[in-house]
Amino acid sequence: MGFEQAWLTYTGKEAYRDIEGIRRIYVNPEGDIIGNAAAELQNAIAVFAGKKPEICALLERKRTDAKEEIESICLIKKEGFASEGYSVREDGGSVVVEASDENGILYGVFALIFRMQREESLKGMAFAKAPVMPLRMLNHWDNMDGSIERGYSGRSFFFDNNEILVDERTAAYARLAASVGINGVVINNVNVKDQATYMITDKYFGKLKRMSEIFALYGIRFFMSLNYAAPVELGELQSADPLDPEVRDWWKDRMKTVYEAIPLLGGFLIKADSEGRPGPFTYGRNHAEGANMLAEAIEPYGGIIIWRCFVYNCRQDWRDRKTDRARSGYDNFMELDGQFCENVILQIKNGPMDFQVREPVHPLFGGLERTNQMLEVQIAQEYTGQQRHICYLIPWFKQILEFRTYVRDTEDTVADIVSGRTFGQKNCGMAAVANTGNDENWTGHDLAAANLYGFGRLAFDPSLSPEEIAREWIRLTYGRDKQVEETILFMLMESWPAYEKYTSPLGIGWMVNPGVHYGPNVDGYEYDRWGTYHRADHLGIGVDRSHEGTGYALLYREPHASVYDDMEKCPEELLLFFHHVPYTWKLKSGKTVIQHIYDTHFEGAETVDEMARRFEALEGKLPDKVFERVRMRLSHQREHAREWRDQINAYFYRKSGIPDEKGREIF
């Protein structure tokens, strides 16, 4: 399938004075990534100005007097900059991009191109940046048969039919990812089964090596997910016990072979003892023992093990009110703090459940003090409308990053921890479960590309506001028409609040159709084994996670623990997550919980109507194909939002018997 260039289209732009005179791009030294950066710049200027500048070695540059006109761009690697950081400044007719490593040059070049695209003046230009998170990763849940677990934009462009795909899309993907500062990619699903187990055998090394080399040209480290039981499943050993010397030697030998074949491999991502995946528990060992065995095996090659904390009992009895899935990550990992090797990172989902539209921040952030940590978010919209609904998630991620952990002092946030500021860690950062597939526009919904773009930008610079990021993306993708910008901005910025309003209320989550996780089904997970309950009866709703209930609220540092524990003080958007409350409970707005449920559900669906109404006015201002794709999805979203509204409202009206004060139609 063909593909578009998303925000890197570089078409339809008028040339402007500042770039018209650029004739040369000088590089020093020559290098693969710098070469790619220079080619990117050359290509962009050729489109913007209609003239292709030449790429030359810096040595060829003749110093002339300071010029009024910008004549050249210099890409120079030199000491003195932060890792992957860069500076861009105009100096006597030349724009100079400097950095201490090639990634920095590449990021500086993209930043410069983005400014050119916005027709910013190059004269006197001066800015510098360095990424805040050391690791900025995308995790793909692609399977070797070409399907994507929780994929909503076509099939995989990494795999098909148990083969690895390396083609023009590989480079196009790397270019897109690098343009927003992504520096690590895991290409396969964390649920490693069947053929994917063989990715660490010579069956696939050739293609994997080629892919890793293409990624490297864009400064991206290549990672794979690993099957913990590989020694057994590949038929070579009887056990995968991490303390068994035979198993440890097996992994050492295996990693030697893997790294000889794929020297650019960054390491592995591992889901162990979770949702049926094998892990150290089978052998009575803990996660530190499991992770460290692998970490030691790849340590000689500079590799890292990213170990997920998404571990819980997925065979819970719904009658059991003591076991709490929300506690499990904390309970499993907190006691191991300080026991992991330096090249192990714990990857922690943003919340304790599973990427719901609203959850509290995971209590391991603020709990762990002596362990490398990564934040995992999901831009694949598994529970947030599956890229058929618009749901711009950057405002949500920003809130998570700004959450105060109180771990060292009152100012410490999640962003401080995962950027390495709090504990001086280097192996840390942020990962997103990717939302791409082989659809022409990469993300199914055209507007879902704002999440891909936004994730990279936010991980690079968490001080950016979600609105700034949205505006950047809109301008780069659709040009500078004010009506287009304001309309799409409205749609993006309203989308997450609207989605939250018309789906499950006040932080309780779920209420989706089991398995597919799409569409309303209030009791879908209520009598199931997944630990995901709302406990609604005729009097009230919510899970008691206070000290009288599961005690989850007390896993946080103060003052959070006391606030979450107290029904009067608990932030209302999380009220039902932490407490079982009567429908008649009065919120700060003066509304009862039941009235809040009715009102928000009507409001959320109305917002979608308004988005669709405003979007119609963009006909003729966006490419026809894009307009039609978005229009079709919006029409589905409108209907689906109403379905959500009506099912949720009907359910709670029937349970509680309390009518809507405003007398609207509830079925």
Residues assigned a catalytic role: 275, 354, 382
SS3 percent helix, strand, coil of the chain, rounded to 5, is 40, 15, 45
Q: Measured from the CB of residue 387, what is the shortest distance to ligand GCV in angstroms?
A: 15
Compute the distance between CA of residue 399 and CA of residue 415 in angstroms, rounded to an integer: 10
Of 40, 354, 412, 599, the residue at the interface with ligand GCV (CB under 6 A) is: 354
End-to-end CA distance of the chain: 44
Select the span of 188-196, 236-244, 533-541, 585-593 touching ligand GCV (CB under 6 A). Answer: 188-196
Minimum distance from CB of 184 to ligand GCV (Å)?
Answer: 18
Distance CA 590, CA 593 (A): 9
- Which token pair is 477? 């993708």
Interface residue with ligand GCV among 310, 478, 533, 578 (CB under 6 A) is 310
Q: What is the DSSP letter of 220?
A: -
Minimum CB separation of residue 195 from ligand GCV in Å reads 17
Among 10, 26, 107, 141, binds ligand GCV (CB under 6 A): 141
Query: Does position 271 bind ligand GCV by CB under 6 A?
Result: yes
Contact between 191 and ligand GCV by CB under 6 A: the answer reads yes
Closest contact distance (angstroms) between CB of 203 and ligand GCV is 23
Return the number of the residue (310 or 556) whose C-beta is nearest ligand GCV. Answer: 310
Comparing CB distances to ligand GCV, the nearer of 378 and 413 is 378
For ligand GCV, the closer CB: 191 or 313: 191
Which one among 13, 136, 140, 150 touches ligand GCV, defined by CB under 6 A? 150
Show contacts with ligand GCV in window 447-466 (CB under 6 A).
none
Give 63: exposed, middle or buried? Use CB within 10 Å, 0-12, 13-18, 19+. exposed
Nearer to ligand GCV, 112 or 185 (CB): 185
| Contact of 197 with 181, CB cutoff 8 Å | no
- Does residue number 142 form part of the binding site for ligand GCV (CB under 6 A)? no
267 burial level (CB within 10 Å; 0-12, 13-18, 19+):
buried
CB nearer to ligand GCV: pick between 233 and 299: 233
* Smallest gap from residue 647 Cβ to ligand GCV (A): 21
Residue 325 interacting with ligand GCV (CB under 6 A): no
Degrees to nearest 5, angle at CA 463 with 569 and 97: 170
Question: How many amino acids of this chain bind ligand GCV (CB under 6 A)?
Answer: 10
Nearest approach in angstroms of CB 150 to ligand GCV is 5
CB of 191 to ligand GCV, least distance (A): 5
Distance between CA atoms of residues 540 and 581, nearest Å: 5
Contact positions with ligand GCV (CB under 6 A) in 100-129 = none
User: SS in 3 state form for 129-170?
Assistant: ECCCCCEEEEECCECCCCCECCCCCCCCCCEECCEECCCHHH
Q: Supply the minimum distance, in Å, between the C-beta of residue 274 and ligand GCV.
A: 6
Shortest distance, CB of residue 347 to ligand GCV, whole angstroms? 10
User: Considering only CA atoms, which of 526, 527, 540, 552 is closest in space to residue 580?
Assistant: 540
Over its C-alpha atoms, the chain yields an Rg (Å, rounded) of: 26
Identify which range of 186-194, 241-249, 420-428, 646-654 contacts ligand GCV by CB under 6 A.
186-194
* Residue (354 or 416) nearer to ligand GCV, CB: 354
Nearer Cβ to ligand GCV (479/519): 519
HEC-encoded secondary structure of 289-352? HHHHHHHHHHHHHCCEEEEECCCCCCCCCCCCCCCCHHHHHHHHHHHHCCCCCCCEEEEEECCC
**Hey, which residues between 577 and 616 contact ligand GCV (CB under 6 A)?**
none
State which residue, 91 or 275, has the beta carbon closest to ligand GCV.
275
Q: Taking the complex as a whole, how short is the minimal distance between the CB of residue 211 and ligand GCV, in angstroms?
A: 21
- Helices (H) then strands (E): counts for the chain: 18, 18
**Residue 229 near residue 179, CB atoms below 8 Å:** no
Long-range contacts of residues 202-205, Cβ cutoff 8 Å, at least 24 apart: 202/257, 202/261, 204/164, 205/258, 205/261, 205/262
190 scored as a contact of ligand GCV (CB under 6 A): yes
Distance from the Cα of residue 589 to its chain's centroid? 33
Considering beta carbons, is residue 496 or 530 the nearer one to ligand GCV?
530
Query: What's the length of the chain?
Result: 667
C-beta closer to ligand GCV: residue 2 or 515: 515
Task: Assess 149 for contact with ligand GCV (CB under 6 A).
Answer: yes
Cis peptide before 263 (omega within 30 of 0): no
What does the alpha-carbon distance between residue 91 and residue 544 come to, in Å, rounded to a whole number?
A: 63
Prior bond of 559 cis (ω within 30°): yes
- Burial of 145 by CB count in 10 Å (0-12 exposed, 13-18 middle, 19+ buried)? middle
How far is it, in rounded angstroms, from Cα 100 to Cα 104? 7
Q: Is 412 in the site for ligand GCV (CB under 6 A)?
A: no
Q: How many CB atoms within 10 Å of residue 471?
A: 17
Closest approach of ligand GCV to the CB of residue 477, in Å: 29
Q: Which is nearer to ligand GCV, 276 or 300 (CB)?
A: 276
Buried/exposed 427-458: b ≥16 CB within 10 Å, e otherwise: bbbbbbbbbbbbbebbbbbbbbbbbbbbbbbb
Q: Which of these segments, 183-191, 246-254, 287-295, 468-476, binds ligand GCV (CB under 6 A)? A: 183-191
Segment near ligand GCV (CB under 6 A), from 117-125, 167-175, 189-197, 434-442? 189-197
- Tell me the closest approach of the beta carbon of residue 314 to ligand GCV, in angstroms: 8
One-letter amino acid at 494 equals E
Q: Which stretch binds ligand GCV (CB under 6 A): 3-11, 100-108, 184-192, 356-364?
A: 184-192
Residue type, 349: K
Nearer to ligand GCV, 432 or 581 (CB): 432
Binding site for ligand GCV (CB under 6 A): 141, 149-150, 189-191, 271, 275, 310, 354
